[in-house]
Structure 1
Amino acid sequence: MQDHDELANTTSRLGVCLKAARRARGLTLKQVAERTGMALSTLSKVENGQMSLTYDKLLQLTAGLKIEIAELFEPAGSRPERREVITARRSISRAGQGHLVDTTFYSYRYQCTDLVGKQMVPILAEIRARTLEEFGALLRHAGEEYFYVTSGRVAVHTEFYEPAVLEVGDGIYLDSSMGHAYLNAGEEPARAICVCTSEEPDLYQKLRSISEAETRSVDA
């Protein structure tokens, strides 16, 4: 439990921080009371270090002011500024370029393969398999992905949803760890742009290893 001096210091710090947060937003105590639904007298006592707040009241206060709870215990000026990190990475993908993985049932052309440690992997896909038997086991890997159909029709199968058919211009965003498969659902070639993303730095290598497990790999 907090001793008397520690509790007093916490109460005083809360008051100072609340006043700083309020003034930074050009608000009066009355406006804060209106935004948060808290009594004006309560807010005045808090600012003057005469009382503290329960956790529920702190959440009510931060929700009304749309601020992080940390701002009520650490003045904004005392927090180190976050410096934006600019990597200046860039890669141009020319037509026909990329790492091609070609199979009987699909072809994937991985784009911008000169960049290592990507958190996003863009793929140009052509879907040939028309049944789950042809496709094989559902795919599963870390992260999430977006699949956008550019030609033909594609049936999307997942382990938790009924199949969905995507037409040209349709897209689907899904959890990649959920079993999934893309099948050609039309007479014409089915092509799409797929973007996979994950916090894992070696996502590209893992995706390649999955698709190359039973295929031949061709560098283009």
Structure 2
Amino acid sequence: MSFENYFPVWNELNAAQKELISDSLSARQVKRGTIIHNGSLDCTGLLLVKSGQLRTYILSDEGREITLYRLFDMDMCLLSASCIMRSIQFEVTIEAEKDTELWIIPAEIYKSIMQESAPVANYTNELMATRFSDVMWLMEQIMWKSLDKRVASFLLEETSIEGTNELKITHETIANHLGSHREVITRMLRYFQEEGLVKLSRSKVTVLDIKRLETLQKS
């Protein structure tokens, strides 16, 4: 499918606005592990995912990572164009978690259309509200949920995304997603293994008991 099928408010644009986007739009294919946007160093533009998976995260002063949210097919990222949104005061990094195809709308082009088009402005505000809710949910998890529950939730999310109980993932990667230390995650996973919830092997975590993990995350 073409860009028009992925951009929710395409049919709300006038002919001139459609032409402006079409003429400035760029398609990109990135390999897993590619950094697409790097904080204040970039004003990449708006990213619209055609296929693949992106991860948006922040870095602490000590270099620890924590995932804010992920982007999948047909998702759009606004924070990669934070230079056009003065209210955004924090820096994010965006990385491809899988080989990804995406489109990039230049930030200034999108800004000009957003100023002219009420449907685009409304869509942008709704998208920002959704991302804000994602971040607030994350803050609640960090503040109020113990690490065992957060690890359980992460493993369940991964099995859902990947469609398998055999997760090819390192302890370091899990730590980066959750804003923790690798050693802490390793101890937690070993405890899960002792309890029969998972099986650990090199760069792989196999989920053995989904129901008990679901019970744990809700308790």
Which TM-score applies when normalising by structure 1?
Answer: 0.28
Select the structure with the greater relative contact order (CA < 8 A; seq sep ≥ 6): 2
Max Rg structure: 1
